[in-house]
Chains A and B, each alone.
Chain A
Amino acid sequence: MAKNTEKKYASMKGKRRASLTATYILLIVISIIWLIPFIGLILQSFRSFDPAIEPGQNGGMVSYIIPKTFSLDNYKFILSDATNFPKWYLNTVIIAIFVAIGQTLNVLGVSYALSRMRFAGRTLLMRFWLVLGMFPGFLTMICLYFLLKQFGLTQAGAVPGLILVSIASSGMGYYVCKGYFDTIPKALDEAMMIDGASRARIFFTMIIPMSKPIIIYTALVAFMAPWCDYVFASYVAFGNDKSYNVAVGLQRWLVNADYQGYFTRFCAGGVLVAIPVTLLFMFLQKYYVEGVTGGAVKG
């Protein structure tokens, strides 16, 4: 009997080890699959587009991942005067910073009003915004374009135009932030009100300092979106090379037939775009996870 249990125990241990090993193998395979595109991107960005250095090709796609010689040609090229890449980069950084600040202020204000204040038409407003959100964003593209054009905010003025459009309607994305405010006990507000503090004072001196995680989450998400904004940016900046953001520029390098052999340069540009955004994200990951899971659970 005792022998039997021992045997059973040993086999269970073996089973456990086998299952752990299997899990590790699976995780390693998953990691490789998830990393391959990034490894490829980085390696290809060091492949020169100069046929003299990299024989037999000119910056297009090739059948090998590891370059025959490592060179910084692509980086030198895209950072030189030969392209507008530095300008696009600067545009994107400016847009991202302003959008992050503007959207965060906007969302905080709306969230506080909806979470703490009770006014006539509050639920109606929230329902109305919910329904508005069901319209596809691109539907209104031409109308927005003409609106911006009226103010001279297209083509050469595309950067402020894009900032304006991104900030203007961002109040509708209050869900996660309001959900967070709802978890801050109302008793705290009431205590401050008894001390004679106004609503504005409560908002600025209590709620905002207590909401660091959600502020960082909101700002981070807002900051990351403009790096990917291809659709509206390309429409608003159409034909004005200097007003592009990196998304528009890189997409053109890869897809537009005028840019044959820009594949490695796209890779280099992609690496330059990905590095700061990825680092920032990794650094603030904790807040992102908090915001995303909080938003998902509350719906």
Chain B
Amino acid sequence: MSAAAKKKNPGFFKAVGMNFAEIGTTFAHGDWKTRLSYIILGFGELLRGQIAKGIAFLASEVLFIWYMCQFGVRYLEKFSTLGTVETTKVHRKTVYGDNSFLILLYSLLTICIIVFFIFLWRLNIRENLKEELILKSGKQLPSNKKVLSSLLDGNFDKTLLTLPMIGIFLFTVLPIIFMVCIAFTNYDKTHQSPTHLFTWVGFDNFKELFATSGAGLGGTFGTVLLWTLLWALAATFIDYFLGLGVAMLINKKGIKFKKLWRTILVITIAVPQIVSLLYISKMFAADGIINQTLLKWGWISKAIPFWTNPVLARVMIVVINIWVGIPYMMLIATGLLMNIPPDLYESASLDGANHRQMFRYITLPYIMFVTGPFLLTQFTGNLNNFNVIFLLTQGGPQSTKLAGNAGYTDLLITWLYKMTVNDTNYRMAAVIGIMVFIVTAVISLVVYNMLPSVKDEEAFQ
């Protein structure tokens, strides 16, 4: 990966250089139609009869200019301060000032639109160049009808991807850029725009996260991060091996009603977790059925603190997650077990291998090999497994030893949620979000390159 990136980098700069060179030479050698297209997009295309393309380019330029005049410039000029005039009340009349939130959001949108427009402008130049070359070589330009119908054929990818890409840009890319920026501002409870503006603070929030003294969150962050990693490891591997075990039990030769056993387990996947996990969390509550029954029978004299003792709560979550995770793993393992080439077992049994040896030397390596990438996605999924934690404990039990309202079963992701919803501490939520990203990305990269199926693709083929 890193080697590929290194190889790619000079290529990237070279490509940028070549782009600039092409822009220059196209202008120098191009005819007047092309040259005018540098200022009026689509001009060359229109004059050459490429109406559809020309109108599209021209319309995007008009839209761009209109947008910049109407909104873009207004927000962009306040980007460096995020607003200076607070909205206040003067004699019961509200005097509206700046709104940091909107300034930041629309500035980022404007920057993205400018980048996109530059890309369009570049595309426009290349299209002009292409058309000139075609005409010079004495060929005809494709008809407008052909250009449009190519959107269903050779350019079908553009038709298919346009809407999804706009959706992803507006609802994923832009919000992520926005939140990454929030990590460098002081947007929190006391800086709620428009009445109290927020502004850039540099790396202060990151310092606060790692600081262990005073109001710093360092200690709590360490605790939560450690538990997050521990949880993801436990949840992934315990479920994996137990699920494999259950699948092998069901697939054992001579066991009847295979479908029934499977169906019973699969109900867990089918029933929405909001119902099943909430019910289970109440089962183990102090006044829940389990404690009440044990009390009634006299087995215990006071309720077991399933959810209020930090260690017990953590164990309970891992155990209940087994209940959630086994059926899923069982389904996958069943499919995989059937895929193992039977001749592997035959030749092994000819060599006198017993069941345990066959499992140790055939089944396990095979399954581990093919499910490597799956295990990785399970692991990163568990790092961010919001539902199980939130529905069972809501991150509790809380403690005065932990800062930022964190509890002992909080994962980074549930802590982030609490900060956003309960504390409106958006700046720290954004910082934690970036941390989650870093943890996920680093683990994914490192582990992915260590996977046997990536290192040695041919081993089982």
Contact = CB atoms under 8 A, between A and B. Distances in A.
Interface of A: 16, 20, 23-24, 26-27, 30-31, 33-35, 37-38, 40-41, 60-65, 106, 109-110, 112-113, 117, 119, 129, 131-132, 134-144, 146-147, 164-165, 167-172, 198-201, 203, 224, 227-228, 230-231, 235, 246-247, 250-251, 254-255, 263, 266-267, 270, 273-274, 277-278, 281-282, 285, 288-289, 292-293, 295-299
Interface stretch (B18-26, B31-39, B368-376): B368-376
B250 interface: yes
A295 B328 CA distance: 13
Contacts of A273: 272, 274-275
Contact of B176 (A24, A139, A235): A139
B370 A297 contact: yes
Interface string B263-293: 1111111111111101110110101110011
A8 to B, nearest CB: 14
Given A109-B160, A139-B175, A251-B278, 4 more contacts: A20-B254, A33-B323, A37-B276, A147-B175
Nearest to B288: A61
B168 A131 contact: no
B454 to A, nearest CB: 9
Interface residues of B, number: 99
Interface string B169-198: 011111110110000000000000000000
Could you say which of B161, B263, B373, B390 has the most chain A C-beta atoms within 10 Å of its C-beta? B161
Contacts of B167: 106, 167-171
A169 B174 CA distance: 12
A299 B249 contact: no
B433 interface: yes
Contacts of B292: 61-63
Contacts of A169: 167-168, 171-172
A236 to B, nearest CB: 12
Contacts of A266: 278-279
Contacts of A293: 331-332, 335-336
A299 B153 contact: no
A231 B175 CA distance: 17
Nearest to B102: A146
Given A35-B264, A231-B417, A250 B444 contact: no
A142 B426 contact: yes
21 contacts: A23-B252, A34-B267, A34-B268, A106-B163, A113-B157, A131-B441, A132-B168, A138-B416, A140-B175, A141-B420, A146-B101, A147-B175, A230-B390, A247-B272, A254-B278, A273-B275, A282-B267, A289-B335, A292-B332, A293-B336, A296-B374
A26 B159 CA distance: 55
A34 to B, nearest CB: 6
Interface of B: 101, 105, 149, 152-154, 156-161, 163-165, 167-168, 170-176, 178-179, 246, 249-250, 252, 254-255, 261, 263-276, 278-280, 282-283, 285, 287-289, 292-293, 295-296, 323, 327-328, 331-332, 334-336, 339, 370-374, 376-377, 380, 384, 386-387, 390-391, 394, 412-413, 416-417, 420-421, 426, 429-430, 433, 436-437, 440-441, 444, 453
B293 A63 contact: yes
Contacts of A170: 164, 167
Contacts of B264: 31, 34-35
A171 B165 contact: yes
Contacts of B176: 132, 135, 139-140
Helix, strand, loop or mixed for chain B's interface?
A: helix
A21 B3 CA distance: 56
Nearest to B252: A23
A117 B156 contact: yes
Could you say which of B370, B374, B387, B416 has the most chain A C-beta atoms within 10 Å of its C-beta? B374
Contacts of B371: 296-297
A199 B153 contact: yes
A165 B164 contact: no
A80 B425 CA distance: 40
A220 to B, nearest CB: 10
* Nearest 3 pairs of A and B residues by beta carbon: A299-B373, A63-B292, A171-B164
Given A138-B386, A227-B274, A198 B156 contact: yes
Contacts of A278: 267, 270-271
Contacts of A134: 380, 437, 440-441, 444
A37 B444 contact: no
B331 to A, nearest CB: 5
Given A113-B157, A297-B371, A35 B282 contact: no
Contact of A282 (B168, B266, B416): B266
A35 B267 CA distance: 8
Contacts of B164: 106, 109-110, 170-171
Contacts of B263: 282, 285
Could you say which of B272, B280, B420 has the most chain A C-beta atoms within 10 Å of its C-beta? B272
A24 B161 CA distance: 52
Contacts of B174: 143
A274 B278 CA distance: 13
A38 B276 CA distance: 7
B274 A251 contact: yes
Given A277-B271, A299-B372, A139 B179 contact: yes
B327 to A, nearest CB: 8
Given A136-B437, A169-B167, A299-B377, A144 B283 contact: no
A220 B286 CA distance: 37
A129 to B, nearest CB: 7
Given A23-B255, A274-B275, A61 B285 contact: yes
A143 B178 contact: yes
Given A27-B261, A117-B157, A296-B371, A228 B272 contact: yes
A10 B444 CA distance: 52
Given A142-B426, A203-B156, A292-B328, A135 B372 contact: no
Contacts of A295: 374
